Amino acid sequence: MRKFFCVLLLLVFASCTITRPTLNVRVEQGPAYDSVYPYSIEFCGASRVVPFGKEAGGRHGHAVLYLKGVCRDESAPYPQIKVCEEGSVDLKDPEAGVGISVDKMFETANWVAVPGRKFFFYGDLERDQALDQPHLDSAVRKAEKLGLFKGIRFHAEYLKKKPSGMSESEFIARETVSTDYALTFGRSFFCVKLPVTRPMLERTVSFLNDLNRKYATGKTPYEWSGYFDNCAHTAHNALAAAGVWKTKQVKKVPLDFFSNLAVPANEFADLAFLTGAYPLENEGKIKRDKVMKKSLLEDGWLPARHGALLSVIPVHETNELYEKQFTTYLLDQPFTGNKWERVRGMVTDKRFTDIESNLRYFGERYNNALTGACAGEGARDPFRKAYCGYMRTQLEDVEVKLKQCASERSFT
């Protein structure tokens, strides 16, 4: 009966999954962003990877994180990370971070950490360069040199594909291109970059480290599951650890199946709506939302905020190795409207993609909250006092950051 119910749920899921064309734009953040926000968590959903002449990746794509202000823990025997020690890196540099990617081939780890944005997303390839075999080979050699997969044992079934005469290190590095590093060699990405506080980032780091520690001994092997424990689950729960939203349970069947399902495109869309469209002017809604209320009272922070920006990073254009036309798989629930069309509207709206436009937009929203919900501020209501105080500090922060952006623009 249990098996039958699971199969039924999967069939329902398949019937609700709709293919959408990948967003056909390029929207990326400039250097001003990192000058204004030293710590951020960037969630990215991705299209499937389709190499010429080889097997395509999973149709639902991939999900990754880029943690700005986080460094690899080079002393650890397996992938571990830490918030960078103050003064050890330039937090205005977008390279001062690590990319986090989950791979179903891993047996003794859930994720791998890749230093630097340029190598993680672009494989050190410039936009005007052609992606050919020599460039891919160069990225593979760098992945080996960095020891990206140190301490990770791979499931034996995948290692059986290794050609004779090729080292295991090189084989692994080649198999993980465009999934764990050099991501845009073969995938398009749609991302939400969310500024966070250092304590929030520390909680995310702690969650991820505990996850890898669980599998490091090999006693409990990591078993990837497309429906019950995949890359999007890890990325979602890393954000949940920071206080962004509720945790999704893994390995939960059958009753909690839909509430705990994680699809890369859906996670991106949900985070885009949460950060850009959540009614932060509605004090009562925030008060009733346990996660929002806790985040406001304990961290002085809400995910619907200035500085949360969307970006779209297409697959590398001049490309001899990978297909460039993709569809995105999105779970559209009945009666909720077309999520993908809402996302399209947001990624073409500067209020959600341009730092200065975004700051001005949220400045208006904070001011509306202060002249609306906070106009008759009740001094005896502790939550309202915290809520209205938060709106004031955020409005002040918007003004500070607008001046920082202007200064950065005049300097460059």
pLDDT-flagged residues of the chain (< 50): 1-16, 335
Residue 71 confidence (pLDDT): 97
Residue 226 confidence (pLDDT): 83
* Measured distance CA(336)–CA(250) in Å, rounded: 25
Residue 149 confidence (pLDDT): 95
**Does a structural domain hold residue 176?**
yes
**Does a structural domain hold residue 4?**
no
Residue 250 confidence (pLDDT): 85
**Does a structural domain hold residue 399?**
no
Cβ atoms 368, 281 nearer than 8 A: yes
**Does a structural domain hold residue 129?**
yes
Phi/psi at 241 (5° precision): -60, -30
* Measured distance CA(36)–CA(145) in Å, rounded: 33
**Residue 106: partners with Cβ closer than 8 Å, 6 or more residues away:** 112, 152, 153, 154, 155, 215, 222, 224
H/E stretch holding 99: strand 97-102
Residue 163 confidence (pLDDT): 92
Residue 70 backbone zone (phi > 0: left; psi -120 to 50: alpha; other: beta): beta
**Does a structural domain hold residue 300?**
yes
**Does a structural domain hold residue 226?**
yes
* Measured distance CA(93)–CA(114) in Å, rounded: 16
- Structural domain containing residue 233: 19-353
**Does a structural domain hold residue 358?**
no
**Residue 187: partners with Cβ closer than 8 Å, 6 or more residues away:** 46, 47, 48, 49, 61, 62, 178, 315, 326
**Does a structural domain hold residue 293?**
yes
Cβ atoms 322, 315 nearer than 8 A: yes
How many independent structural domains does the chain possess?
A: 1
